[in-house]
């Protein structure tokens, strides 16, 4: 039996839903390309309670359905659990794509980062409220390590499948209450390079706060979208040449930075950081030299956290946030970094 047949059979027998099976709840978000609601299913999926998230999307919904179908077969643990996607024709605005996921939980990493308690609020989620350990820099480092490991694990799954997310940011990372891990959401800007889906980069979709300096990923080398069979033949080579996965690694590095430095968690502080880093030619070590001598206690504490245990955190961070994509580490290599070898990590990440 081949994988293709198995995927086809799975698709036929998986329950599918239509408009009448969905009861809309409160609105969770509204972007330029769709609206997201909490919802419940009247026809309940076998082992679940029917609590879901519904996205009503414009034309890009087709790509997002493709990406989610692919992810659920190839790297299901990386992303929110996809239930079903279909074209709904009855809307006043013409047709829309409707996408349904399991409701994974209340909090995105953005919500958690904005809380003064971070990272202890995350520790409570991962371990359960009653198991909290004594506070302190070492403890904070262990929690940040655990989150970074989960993020890199999820990214490695996506990248190994041939998908680049391109909009990796705290708002698109959800804490899954069932698995007690962070999962990736919002594949609306993702590119599947192995089959050439969404081959033309949609630069205008990218979030400038988290985007790597190259931004365009492959557009200069591949000005037009090749047909799917050509892309299948070429893309592993293009992947090697262009290392498009390193775009997400840069974004993940900025998230790491925001976890280590409370003062860089606001939008305005991140935008200001990006300007400073650009002035340092994207050299994080040069940035550190300019800010550290007159650093606030908060900034100094962030460096102290990253310097723990021989500076593994700082070393990993500088290997992610680099100007040239090919000089950035991959998700797989980052997971093998000594930063994650500490015993302390195991206490928190046993569930991964």
From residue 239, give the alpha-carbon distance in Å to each of 12, 168, 242, 246, 264: 32, 19, 5, 10, 32
| Strand ranges in the chain using DSSP code E only, listed in sequence order | 22-31, 34-41, 51-57, 82-88, 96-102, 163-164, 173-176, 181-184, 191-192
Which spans of this chain sit near ligand ADP (rule: CB under 6 A)? 28-29, 31, 34, 36, 53, 55, 80, 101-105, 108, 171-172, 174, 185-186, 188
The site that binds Mg ion (CB under 5 A) totals a number of residues, namely 2
Q: Shortest distance, CB of residue 7 to Mg ion, whole angstroms?
A: 27
**Range in contact with Mg ion (rule: CB under 5 A) among 92-100, 135-143, 172-180, 234-242:** 172-180
Residue at token pair 């880093």: 277
From residue 38, give the alpha-carbon distance in Å to each of 84, 101, 107, 252: 15, 10, 13, 27
Identify the DSSP state of 329: P
Provide the CA 16 distance to its chain's centre, in angstroms. Answer: 26
**Range in contact with Mg ion (rule: CB under 5 A) among 44-52, 99-107, 170-178, 344-352:** 170-178
186 or 245: whose CB is closer to Mg ion?
186
Q: Which of residues 289-318 bind Mg ion (CB under 5 A)?
A: none
Q: Shortest distance, CB of residue 31 to ligand ADP, whole angstroms?
A: 4
Q: Shortest distance, CB of residue 33 to ligand ADP, whole angstroms?
A: 6
172 or 251: whose CB is closer to Mg ion?
172
From the candidates 167, 186, 192, 248, which is the catalytic residue? Answer: 167
What is the distance between the alpha carbons of residues 274 and 322, in angstroms, rounded to a whole number?
12
List of residues 6+ apart from 335 with CB closer than 8 A = 149, 152, 153, 156
Q: Shortest distance, CB of residue 111 to ligand ADP, whole angstroms?
A: 8
96 or 186: whose CB is closer to Mg ion?
186
207 or 283: whose CB is closer to ligand ADP?
207
Candidates 261, 248, 263; CA nearest to 320 is: 248
Candidates 317, 64, 302, 65; CA nearest to 202 is: 64
Residue 192 annotated to the active site: no
Candidates 115, 152, 124, 120; CA nearest to 139 is: 120
What is the distance between the alpha carbons of residues 194 and 192, in angstroms, rounded to a whole number?
6
172 binds Mg ion (CB under 5 A): yes
What is the distance between the alpha carbons of residues 301 and 307, in angstroms, rounded to a whole number?
10
* Binding partner at 188 among Mg ion, ligand ADP, none, C-beta below 5 to 8 Å by kind: ligand ADP
80 or 155: whose CB is closer to ligand ADP?
80
Q: Shortest distance, CB of residue 175 to Mg ion, whole angstroms?
A: 15
* Binding partner at 85 among Mg ion, ligand ADP, none, C-beta below 5 to 8 Å by kind: none
- Contact (Cβ atoms closer than 8 angstroms) between residue 32 and residue 167: no
Candidates 288, 66, 87; CA nearest to 187 is: 66
**Range in contact with Mg ion (rule: CB under 5 A) among 3-11, 180-188, 237-245, 298-306:** 180-188
170 or 313: whose CB is closer to Mg ion?
170
Residue at token pair 């040069």: 286
Q: Shortest distance, CB of residue 279 to Mg ion, whole angstroms?
A: 29
- Contact (Cβ atoms closer than 8 angstroms) between residue 135 and residue 116: no
31 or 229: whose CB is closer to ligand ADP?
31
- Contact (Cβ atoms closer than 8 angstroms) between residue 258 and residue 110: no
Q: Which of 140, 156, 186, 214 binds Mg ion (CB under 5 A)?
A: 186
Site string for Mg ion, 11-30 (x = CB under 5 A): --------------------
Q: Shortest distance, CB of residue 65 to ligand ADP, whole angstroms?
A: 13
**Range in contact with Mg ion (rule: CB under 5 A) among 98-106, 130-138, 167-175, 306-314:** 167-175
Active-site positions read 167
> Site residues (CB under 5 A) for Mg ion?
172, 186
């Amino acid at each position: 039996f081949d994988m293709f047949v198995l995927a086809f059979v799975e698709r036929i027998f998986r329950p599918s839903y239509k408009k009448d099976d969905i009861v809309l709840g409160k609105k969770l978000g509204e972007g330029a390309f769709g609206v997201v609601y909490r919802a419940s299913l009247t026809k309940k999926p076998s082992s679940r309670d029917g609590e879901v998230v519904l996205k009503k999307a414009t034309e890009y919904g087709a790509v997002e359905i493709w990406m989610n179908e692919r992810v659920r077969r190839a790297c299901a643990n990386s992303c929110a659990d996809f239930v079903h996607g279909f074209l709904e024709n009855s809307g006043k605005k013409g047709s829309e794509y409707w996408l349904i996921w399991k409701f994974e939980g209340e909090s995105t990493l953005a919500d958690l980062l904005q809380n003064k308690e971070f990272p202890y609020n995350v520790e409570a989620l991962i371990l359960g409220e009653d198991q909290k350990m004594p506070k302190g820099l070492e403890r904070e480092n262990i929690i940040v390590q655990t989150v970074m490991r989960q993020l890199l694990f999820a990214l490695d799954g996506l990248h190994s499948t041939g998908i680049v997310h391109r909009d990796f940011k705290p708002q698109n990372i959800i804490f899954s209450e069932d698995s007690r891990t962070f999962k990736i959401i919002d594949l609306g800007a993702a590119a599947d390079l192995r089959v050439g889906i969404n081959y033309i980069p949609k630069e205008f979709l990218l979030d400038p706060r988290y985007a790597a300096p190259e931004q365009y990923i492959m557009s200069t080398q591949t000005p037009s979208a090749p047909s799917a069979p050509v892309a299948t033949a070429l893309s592993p080579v293009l992947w090697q040449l262009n290392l498009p996965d390193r775009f997400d690694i840069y974004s993940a590095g900025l998230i790491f930075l925001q976890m280590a430095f409370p003062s860089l968690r606001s939008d305005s502080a991140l935008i200001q950081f990006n300007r400073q880093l650009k002035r340092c030619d994207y050299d994080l070590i040069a940035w550190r030299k300019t800010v550290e001598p007159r650093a606030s206690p908060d900034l100094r504490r962030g460096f102290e956290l990253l310097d723990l245990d021989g500076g593994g955190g700082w070393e990993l961070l500088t290997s992610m946030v680099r100007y040239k994509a090919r000089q950035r580490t991959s998700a797989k290599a980052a997971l093998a970094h000594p930063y994650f070898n500490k015993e302390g990590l195991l206490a928190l990440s046993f569930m991964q």
